[in-house]
Amino acid sequence: MRPFPLSGFLYEFRRALLSVPLIVLTVLIVLASFGVLATFAVNRTPPSTFLESSNLFYFAKGEYHFESYVYDTYGNPAPGVVFNFTVFKANTTGGPPGGPVANATGRTAANGLVDVPVALAESNYSVQYSAVGPNNQSVGCGGQFFSSATSITSPPPGEIRPFGCGSLSSVLSGTGYQASTLLQVFFLGPNGTAPPNYQVYWAGPFNISPSPAPLPESSMHLLGGLSVPHQTYALSVPSMGRDPPVGIPQIVQVELFTTGGQRVAMDANQSAGNFVRTPTNSEGVSVAFVFVGSIMAFLVPLMAVLAAYSVYGRDRLTGVLEGVLARPVSRLGLAVSRYLAVIAALCLAVAGAAAVLDALVAWVLGGFLPFTVMLLLFSALLVEIGAFTGLVFLLAHALRSSAGLVATAIGLWAFFAIGWFVLVPLLGVLSGAVFSPGYERTVVQLEFFNPVQFLSLVQALLLGSVSVIGPTTPLAPSDYGITYASVVGDGLVWVLAPLAALVHVVRHRD
Amino acid sequence: MLTIRGLRKVFRGKALPAVTDLDLDVRPGEIVGLVGLNGAGKTTTIRAAAGLCTPTSGTVTVFGLDLTRQKAEASRHIGWVPEVPNFEPGSRALAQLRYYAGFYDLSGPAARERCSALLQQVGLPGVERIRLRTFSQGMRKRFSLAASLLGDPEILLFDEILSGLDPEGVALVRNLMLELRGQNRGILLSSHILSEVQQVADRVAIVHQGRLVKTLTREEVANAGGLTLRVTVANLDEAGVGILRGFGEVRREANTVWISNPIKESSEINAELVRRNYTVVALGYEPRNLEQLFFDAIRAPEAAGP
């Protein structure tokens, strides 16, 4: 004889999981989670004033051409940016450059492009240049301001080369969400023509040292073709886990090939971290507590109340349970199997909702929520689930009508989830103690006595501070008695006390 | 065998016990009727025998297994049909039966086959996919009967199983009970329909005010089909009743006495009363049945007084 009715457990698990209230509330939580999209959407107005540029040059027909593309952080072209070039004769001995041999000026067009031709004989030079936006904005390059002299070594006629701190590729912020990034490639075909459908490949991440060597196409990933001077690509470097990568800086390598497989250019200057989509810890904790804390902590106890009522309370009070108890099963076995079935179903529903939230966060912020944060939050919700499930099971043995049970159970949830937050401040106001240090301490410590607020205790531990309203400076959680030991103990009491009482009642009463 | 010894059940908040000092056996291959007025303790007795309510004192054992301490093992030998069956309203018939079947280690195709066969046996073919909330009272009874037979139990507890059934259902259940008895199963049948109990029961336990007041033997039940002589005497006194006792077992109500299975003809009894100066107002035979035995039994303690 099996002590635990496994088939009954599975049946009740399925029944709890498919109960209408559980489905409705889970869907509600999932829908609420979509609020993440609004919270982390990038606000594009006003646009960033910071401008960046990518720079190329080539020699053709007795002229050097300095081609630049200026854009904002979203990749929008920046017209009206004035470039000033001063070309010096290069000092081949490595000393300072000689006197200036040419000056030239250009202004970016509506498409953000500028071509500044300088008539010079083919040779090696140093170039000093500056760029100023129409509203005197600084123009950076890869995040650096520049106006220093840059040596240029004359390439074969018609061949395109980067210059300055500009490189083949650059990083743009995605226009959708805060953490999304795009790779922008700016390059030209021979003699400044449109790129003849170069193939853009990437590989990585690699350690920044030693300097990466050129790679064949076969060992890289194709990003797409390049038929216009500048093009953006969605580049996603595999996450190195839920926690942000640390240690040796890593880069991604970008190369351009002709359709015939001949390498045209290579760039290994972009940090891989730009493309590893991982939310910061603060973002993760913020999402976790805003959405999990405020929505799940509020609704999960109600889910527990309704699921426990559906699976046990109603059956017990309408006589349905007796039809099961007449089977080869002990009273305790039946009660515990149903209790565990409800807990398991709720855990799965909450995990499903959390998975949707995590997937949304990964989509929006570029990476999953910190694992430890999710684990602690799930544990906190498990305490709520255990406490309310146990209480409803227990009430089913104390009350005599299903209507009375559902009213009492929902009333219990309403008291802890809503009434508590009205009653406690009200008592503070009535007693005249509100905002006093003693009142704050009492309010915080009362969280130990409310299962809905158990998550607040966990939050205090995770964030290392307690948020209180009042004139005093927030103290560390331990100053309020919130320690790992006290929180774990409180959670165990909330789960085990109703369960122990239930076991006692089931064993000693009809 | 189901053995009830010294069963006493006092519900919380109630001063009087629902059942007290009740001893009863149900052996394999017999049908024991359990009859009594409303509130007599029939349902409490059956619920205790089904392991649904814990005795305040006394024991209920099934083949030596204590239903309080070895509930799961003992329940394997018992099938129970309640007076008012309740099921998950949203569940479908087959799904609910298969859920119950899981407790008997029946699963998969074997469970499906067994459940469908039982539904067929109780006259509910083709209801497998129908939700239980749509079942009539009679269908619920039949469904509950099927559920009680899932584990092939040796002891069946039927609490008012006939109420709510149409004549066809009554006949089906009656025949099924006789068939089960033939398969050496024991049945404890609680019913208000005494004529039905009389038709099938081998023994009848009569409970009144929570006590077992009489157990009619197989012979007594079998003889319950005899005649009763009803005699109304204008000047009846204790001496007159004593005279009538000489003709058989008597029951008196005011000036009327019923003589069960009288040993003399009515004319001889009349002559004897007249000879003793009693004025006989009415004299006639009535068919004797379980109902009379029942009332005889429950009135005897009342007549005896506290």
CA separation for the pair B88, B96 (Å, rounded): 8
How many beta carbons lie within 10 A of that of residue A140, not counting itself?
16
Out of A1, A7, A10, name the one closest to residue B72 (CB): A1
Residues of A in contact with B12 (CB under 8 A): 509
Out of A11, A328, A509, name the one closest to residue B99 (CB): A11
Residues of B in contact with A311 (CB under 8 A): none
Among A28-32, A290-294, A421-425, B89-93, which is the least confidently predicted range?
A290-294
Torsion of CA A331, A333, A339, A342, to 10 degrees: -120
Written in H, E and C, the secondary structure of A1-63 is: CCCCCHHHHHHHHHHHHCCHHHHHHHHHHHHHHCHHHHHHECCCCCCCCCEEEEEEEEEECCE
Whether the per-residue pLDDT at B190 is higher than 70: the answer is yes
- In a 13 Å sphere around the CA of B248, the CA atoms on its Cβ side amount to 20
Structure tokens at A270: 């972009």
Out of A7, A11, A333, name the one closest to residue B72 (CB): A333
Q: Residue A56 in contact with residue A188, Cβ under 8 Å?
A: yes
DSSP conformation class of A448? G
Residue B62: its pLDDT value, please? 96
Query: How far A22 CA lies from chain B's nearest CA (Å)?
Result: 16
Q: Which band of pLDDT confidence, cut at 50, 70 and 90, is reported for residue A32?
A: confident
Q: Which band of pLDDT confidence, cut at 50, 70 and 90, is reported for residue A403?
A: very high
Question: Is omega for the bond preceding B28 within 30 degrees of 0, making it cis?
Answer: no
Counting every residue written for chain A, the total comes to 510
pLDDT in tens, A454-476: 988 888 887 777 765 554 555 68
Cβ <8 Å between B103 and A329: yes
Average of pLDDT values for B220-246?
A: 85
Average of pLDDT values for A402-407?
A: 93
Query: How far B137 CA lies from chain A's nearest CA (Å)?
Result: 15
> Where is pLDDT greater, at A142 or A413?
A413
Residues of B in contact with A3 (CB under 8 A): 72
The strand pairing partners of B161, in sequence order, are none
Cβ <8 Å between A319 and B82: yes
Q: Does A38 touch chain B (CB under 8 A)?
A: no
**% pLDDT > 90, chain A:** 35
Whether the per-residue pLDDT at A373 is higher than 80: the answer is no
Q: Does A18 touch chain B (CB under 8 A)?
A: no
pLDDT in tens, A146-184: 334 556 666 777 888 877 665 666 666 655 555 567 788
Cβ <8 Å between A510 and B53: yes
Please provide the average confidence, as pLDDT, over all residues in chain A.
82
Residue B82: its pLDDT value, please? 95
Q: Which band of pLDDT confidence, cut at 50, 70 and 90, is reported for residue B79?
A: very high
Residue at token pair 């009830």: B4
Sheet-wide strand order for A198-207: A221-226, A198-207, A250-257, A263-271
pLDDT in tens, A268-316: 777 776 666 555 555 566 666 666 667 888 899 999 999 999 999 999 9
Q: Does A475 touch chain B (CB under 8 A)?
A: no
Name the strand (E) or helix (H) holding A127. Answer: strand A125-132
CA separation for the pair B5, A455 (Å, rounded): 54
Q: Which band of pLDDT confidence, cut at 50, 70 and 90, is reported for residue B52?
A: very high
Cα-based distances in Å from B21 to B1, B8, B62: 19, 6, 18
Residues of A in contact with B104 (CB under 8 A): 327-328
> Where is pLDDT greater, at B298 or A23?
A23
Residue B77's closest CA among A64, A208, A328? Answer: A328
Long-range contacts of A426-430 (CB under 8 A, 24+ apart): none
Average of pLDDT values for A247-275?
A: 80
Out of B53, B73, B147, name the one closest to residue A323 (CB): B147
Out of B76, B85, B148, name the one closest to residue A328 (CB): B76
Nearest chain A residue (CA) to B47: A326
Cβ <8 Å between B103 and A3: no
Most confidently modeled range among A287-296, B110-119, B241-250: B110-119
CA separation for the pair B28, A460 (Å, rounded): 67
CA separation for the pair B190, B203 (Å, rounded): 12
Residues of B in contact with A1 (CB under 8 A): 72-73, 76
CA separation for the pair A15, A320 (Å, rounded): 14
Residue at token pair 């979509």: A34
Cβ <8 Å between A8 and B102: yes
Average of pLDDT values for A478-499?
A: 93
Q: Residue A328 in contact with residue B103, Cβ under 8 Å?
A: yes
Interface of B with A in 50-79 (CB under 8 A): 50-54, 71-73, 75-76, 78-79
pLDDT in tens, A196-243: 999 999 887 777 777 778 899 999 999 899 999 998 888 777 655 444
Among A113-117, A248-252, A324-328, A398-402, which is the least confidently predicted range?
A248-252
Q: Which band of pLDDT confidence, cut at 50, 70 and 90, is reported for residue A93?
A: low
**Most A CBs within 10 Å: which of B62, B63, B75, as the mutation test of the A interface?**
B75
Name the strand (E) or helix (H) holding B58. Answer: strand B57-62
How many beta carbons lie within 10 A of that of residue A81, not counting itself?
24
Residues of A in contact with B159 (CB under 8 A): none
Cβ <8 Å between A326 and B78: yes
**Most B CBs within 10 Å: which of A6, A7, A9, A400, as the mutation test of the B interface?**
A7
Phi, psi of A430 (to 5 degrees): -65, -35
Residues of B in contact with A330 (CB under 8 A): 71-72
A146 three-class SS: coil
Q: Which band of pLDDT confidence, cut at 50, 70 and 90, is reported for residue A143?
A: very low
Average of pLDDT values for B115-130?
A: 94
Cβ <8 Å between B104 and A8: no
CA angle A333, A337, A338 (to 5 degrees): 120
Average of pLDDT values for A334-355?
A: 93
| Neighbouring residues of A218: CB distance < 8 A, sequence distance ≥ 6 | none
Dihedral sign of CA atoms A402, A403, A406, A412 in order? negative
Cβ <8 Å between A510 and B52: yes
Interface of A with B in 308-327 (CB under 8 A): 315, 318-320, 322-327
Residues of A in contact with B79 (CB under 8 A): 326
Residues of B in contact with A6 (CB under 8 A): 102
Structure tokens at B284: 């006639």
Q: Which band of pLDDT confidence, cut at 50, 70 and 90, is reported for residue B15?
A: confident
Cα-based distances in Å from A228 to A111, A186, A259: 12, 8, 15
Q: Which band of pLDDT confidence, cut at 50, 70 and 90, is reported for residue A115?
A: very high
Whether the per-residue pLDDT at A340 is higher than 90: the answer is yes
Query: How far A415 CA lies from chain B's nearest CA (Å)?
Result: 30
> Where is pLDDT greater, at A482 or A431?
A482
Residue A473: its pLDDT value, please? 57
Structure tokens at A121: 């004989």
Average of pLDDT values for A76-104?
A: 80
Please provide the average confidence, as pLDDT, over all residues in chain B.
89
Query: How far B87 CA lies from chain A's nearest CA (Å)?
Result: 5
Among A66-70, A256-260, B220-224, B292-296, which is the least confidently predicted range?
B220-224
Cβ <8 Å between A5 and B151: no
CB pairs under 8 A between A and B: 73
DSSP conformation class of B165? -
Residue A145: its pLDDT value, please? 33
Residue A416: its pLDDT value, please? 93
Residue A280: its pLDDT value, please? 54
Structure tokens at B60: 């209920």
Residue A239's closest CA among A347, A93, A143, A369? Answer: A369
Interface of A with B in 346-385 (CB under 8 A): none
The predicted complex's ipTM stands at: 0.81
Average of pLDDT values for B260-282?
A: 90
Most confidently modeled range among A16-20, A131-135, B155-159: B155-159
Cα-based distances in Å from A15 to A9, A69, A119, A402, B87: 10, 62, 82, 18, 14
> Where is pLDDT greater, at B70 or B304?
B70
Query: How far A480 CA lies from chain B's nearest CA (Å)?
Result: 45
DSSP conformation class of B76? T
Average of pLDDT values for B91-97?
A: 94
Residue B252: its pLDDT value, please? 87
Buried b vs exposed e over B231-259: b needs ≥16 C-beta within 10 Å?
bbbeebeeebeebbeebbebbbeebebbb
CA separation for the pair A335, A357 (Å, rounded): 33
